[in-house]
Amino acid sequence: MGVVAGTTAAPTVWAADEDQLSGAVSLPISRGKAIISTANLAVEARTAGADTAVVSAPVAESLGPAENVQVTGTSASWTYPDSNLEVKAETRAGRLVVRVHSTVDQSLRWPVSGVDSSLRSVQIPRGEGLSLPVNDPLWNSADNGLDGVDMPLMGDLNMPFWGYSKDRLGISYISPSDIGTKLSFKSSGGRLNATAVHDFSAHEDTRDYVVSFALTDGSPIGAAKDYRRWLRQHDQLRTLAEKAKNSPEIAKLRGAFHAYVWGTGRSATAMNDLRKAGVRRMLVSWDADKQGMPAEAIQAAKRNGYLAGPYDTWANAQPPETADAPTSVWPAPVWDEACVRDAQGQLTGGFGGRGCYLSSQALAQAEPKHHYIADRIATMTADHPNTYFLDVDSAGELFTDYTPAHPMNQKKDRQNRLERMGWLAKDHHLVAGGEKAGAWSNSVVDYSHGSASVNMRNYWKFTHTTEWGNWSPAGRPSFFFKPATMPDALRTTMWDPRYRAPLYATVLHDSIVNLDRWELSYYKVNGVQKDRALLAMVSASPLNFVLDASVIRERGAEIAALQKAFEPLHRSTFDATVTDFRYLGSGTQVQQSTFGDGSAVVTANFGDSTYRNLPAKCATIAITGKPTKTFCP
């Protein structure tokens, strides 16, 4: 059954002692009540102050008559026999929680959010976070915006929630059923709607679909605050302080910038020159190429108080005789017996179509006897690094493997990845980095490269142009070092502060240190440096760089000045999250974020004119017990 979105309809309210077939269920939630149509799953919220909001439009396709309607206290249940669906709605922790179970494989397009004309903005946990005016022409476009874009909750979004808001009222949507669910955006009448689409599948173990709804105060971070509460209530949040018990060197993340070092940057001299330039805290990683990072350079970095460690991936295999990266070479018979295969038995192509993606189940089954991953870690840590960056595993790209010898669905793949990522801290006490880590992997990842990046669909095409650069020369690839000028629309969607809100920092700031992708270093994209530096302050998230000896020589003092301004803020907020965020004045150019109990407040002016003595392109950083500083990058 394919179920599509339709128009809104006002459900009829009924009390428990009235006719249960009259069409709607009313359940109490924090700030008011939720009214659910048993006829078509439309949901309306009403506050104690009589404000209303359409939480979901009805499902358009007929579900058939609702039968077996039952109400008990603060829960209700019914079935749609014609559609093979069973529904249970209940109040939990002040939220409306709806569970839909399907007895067959099918899809459901619901909830249908954003249809209420009074809603003004939509919040999406893409990158650090977006808060978009629903009627913004750019974001309503199909070429550069979100019209027609589908975002899987597992992977494309960092966290499985979204929100809509207006003045003093907002709606939070959470779906813990992230595997098998995507958020489908559509511009209708010049306004962005978002419909969740869930695939019920027995093979993927996704026959149960859960969505939680809550009312918020309408803040741009209201839905993020609700999701953090949800994580806490379900014991699914692990802080950096808790993880530091296994990996004490996590403390070195406080105030640190991050960098990938290349060519002449991989030397003890370069590490010492970086420290002489004034960079007190840094995490340095290096790509898995033939040069590596010499032991003396690693030790020099550690002596300087830095974290230093390799890049690795356990997700790709290539034929050993033609492999283009050491990390894609595994002992026989990993290639190709451990590859993921589709239902037709064909290999699932690996990075850039090279080799194959490895099955986490195949490696898990082989590990007790062959120790492929244990041996890889031993090789990578032979020179005693204190951090380890693992690509892919935390990015949310999950696979279904149909290979008879090692079958798995996506849930099993995720379970395998969580277990093996955890070995880096549990068994080796390393500070663990991951790619684009989402909330689901917060228990095993300490820092994430890529979760801060708002990578829209045109970005990947742009990185394959000559303007962006390629992977040569070997010691200084232009892909990383060549400054590039982005097309205006792409630059706006990725970097314009007017559309940003610190959603990630609201949920996970005390759990994962969040940065941009490794190729999106601070100097890579022309014309966005000041905004990037100020955005880093608003979310208290580090900047990232690519370094070699010449960059250290030419830019070291500037990097040190940026790090000196950032370090006190990051140190003071390391164990806190954003607890309040607001726009000051008219528009969204002046932003203020408050951390924890108010012990740190950042006010950033992204505009072109002074706001109340705050110069354009500057920020004030107020930390309890310290003089307020003005930062102008």
Distances (CA, A) of 534 to 447, 496, 596, 603, 617: 20, 11, 19, 9, 8
- Residues 413, 500, single domain; the answer is yes
- Residues 587, 570, single domain; the answer is no
- Residues 244, 106, single domain; the answer is no
Per-residue confidence (pLDDT) for residue 22, from 0 to 100: 60
C-alpha 116/C-alpha 208 separation (Å) is: 27
- Domain termination residue (choose one: 233, 262, 280): 233
Dihedral of the CA atoms 580, 584, 587, 593 (nearest 10)? Answer: -30
348 lies in a domain? no
Q: Which CATH number goes with the domain that contains 375?
A: 3.20.20
Contact 402, 342 (CB under 8 A): yes
Q: What is the DSSP letter of 58?
A: P
**Which residues, listed in sequence order, are joined to residue 106 by a DSSP beta bridge?**
200
Q: What is the mean pLDDT of each run of 10 residues along the chain (633 residues)?
A: 38 36 86 96 92 95 95 96 98 98 98 97 98 98 96 97 96 98 98 98 98 97 98 98 97 98 98 98 94 96 98 97 95 97 96 95 98 98 98 97 98 98 97 98 98 94 97 95 98 97 98 98 98 98 98 98 98 98 95 97 98 97 97 98
Backbone angles phi, psi at 70, to 5 degrees: -135, 140
Contact 328, 336 (CB under 8 A): no
Could you count the other beta carbons within 10 Å of the beta carbon of residue 232? 10
164 lies in a domain? yes
Could you count the other beta carbons within 10 Å of the beta carbon of residue 610? 11
- Domain termination residue (choose one: 233, 261, 288): 233
Give the tokens for residue 61: 């396709």
- Residues 371, 488, single domain; the answer is yes
Contact 310, 385 (CB under 8 A): yes
Per-residue confidence (pLDDT) for residue 60, from 0 to 100: 85
C-alpha 529/C-alpha 545 separation (Å) is: 12
Domain that holds residue 308: 240-315+358-580
Handedness of CA 459, 460, 461, 462 (dihedral sign): positive
Q: Exposed, middle or buried: residue 425 (CB in 10 Å: 0-12, 13-18, 19+)?
A: buried
365 lies in a domain? yes
Contact 433, 388 (CB under 8 A): yes
- Residues 615, 546, single domain; the answer is no
With tokens 């790209």, the residue in question is 397
Nearest to 177 by CA among 203, 148, 212: 212
Contact 528, 491 (CB under 8 A): yes
144 lies in a domain? yes
Domain count, the chain: 3
With tokens 């907020």, the residue in question is 573
Contact 311, 284 (CB under 8 A): no
Q: Exposed, middle or buried: residue 625 (CB in 10 Å: 0-12, 13-18, 19+)?
A: exposed
343 lies in a domain? no
pTM recorded for the entire structure: 0.96
C-alpha 615/C-alpha 604 separation (Å) is: 9
Q: Which CATH number goes with the domain that contains 60?
A: 2.70.98
Nearest to 310 by CA among 361, 266, 248: 266
Backbone angles phi, psi at 174, to 5 degrees: -125, 130
Handedness of CA 580, 581, 586, 590 (dihedral sign): positive
Instruction: Classify 588 as helix, strand or coil.
Output: coil
Q: Which residues of 513-541 are buried (b: 16+ CB within 10 A; e: fewer)?
A: bbbbbbbbbbbbbeebbebbbbbbbbbbb
15 lies in a domain? no
- Residues 362, 459, single domain; the answer is yes
Per-residue confidence (pLDDT) for residue 19, from 0 to 100: 34
C-alpha 562/C-alpha 569 separation (Å) is: 12
Contact 230, 237 (CB under 8 A): no
Contact 88, 72 (CB under 8 A): no
Report the run of H or E that residue 537 belongs to, with start and end: helix 529-539
Exposure on the CB side of residue 280, measured as CA atoms within 13 A:
11
Contact 201, 192 (CB under 8 A): no
- Residues 462, 562, single domain; the answer is yes
- Give the orientation angle of helix 360-370 with respect to helix 410-426, to 10 degrees: 40
- Domain termination residue (choose one: 539, 562, 580): 580
**Residue 623 carries which side chain, given as an amino acid letter?**
I
Nearest to 551 by CA among 317, 309, 257, 338: 257
- Residues 574, 586, single domain; the answer is no
75 lies in a domain? yes
Handedness of CA 213, 217, 219, 222 (dihedral sign): negative
Instruction: Classify 450 as helix, strand or coil.
Output: coil
- Residues 251, 153, single domain; the answer is no
